[in-house]
Chain A
């Protein structure tokens, strides 16, 4: 069975600080990787995705993530966070054979103005 581990449960940063959220997964087959975000009072929505090709992917609002296959990792980064980035962030792995996504427990990011 696949699993997803997010290392930080709650991160608190000041505006303009850099962000890195860790995500590791445990499946050796072909995967698609995602970061989803849930802003306060809103639905879960896609932040960025990796299917193949360039392991450095860019998403909305200046976020990026790097897929490192040898480390089974897909860490999320942003060079300078804003107050509006306050949200809960979920890493997810899709097992393309099984057709279903497995989610991590999420990281709550609080950005202080």
Chain B
């Protein structure tokens, strides 16, 4: 597609519910990133895929958070047993970046984000 598409745009969950957030990156983009943005703060890194391989998941705050990109395109971020502190905007970004590529491919294209509110 023309841009990075995220769904749902808004999600309200009761504490303890599981949620799944979807990201459809720009076609052909190798790298896909998930960030969490709390109110008044910058995006915080969660995890990063290169094609279907999850290269870095050091930012996932707990084992309740799980991300996958099984076919190297669409990615899903799953949060199990949601807590109030999980309330945030979850941003997905993609880039053509590859470790063997050139620096010009490192620009992130962001989606609109999924705003999660846990009650």
Contact = CB atoms under 8 A, between A and B. Distances in A.
Interface stretch (B11-19, B21-29, B36-44, B70-78): B36-44
Interface residues of A, number: 25
Contacts of B4: 43
B107 interface: yes
Contacts, number: 61
Q: Is the interface of A mostly helix, strand, loop or mixed?
A: strand
A98 B41 CA distance: 22
A104 B103 CA distance: 21
Interface string A34-68: 10100000011110010110000000000000000
Interface of B: 3-4, 31, 33, 35, 40-45, 48, 50, 55-56, 91, 93, 97, 99, 103-104, 106-108, 110-113
Given A32-B106, A43-B113, A49-B107, 5 more contacts: A99-B31, A99-B48, A99-B50, A100-B33, A101-B45
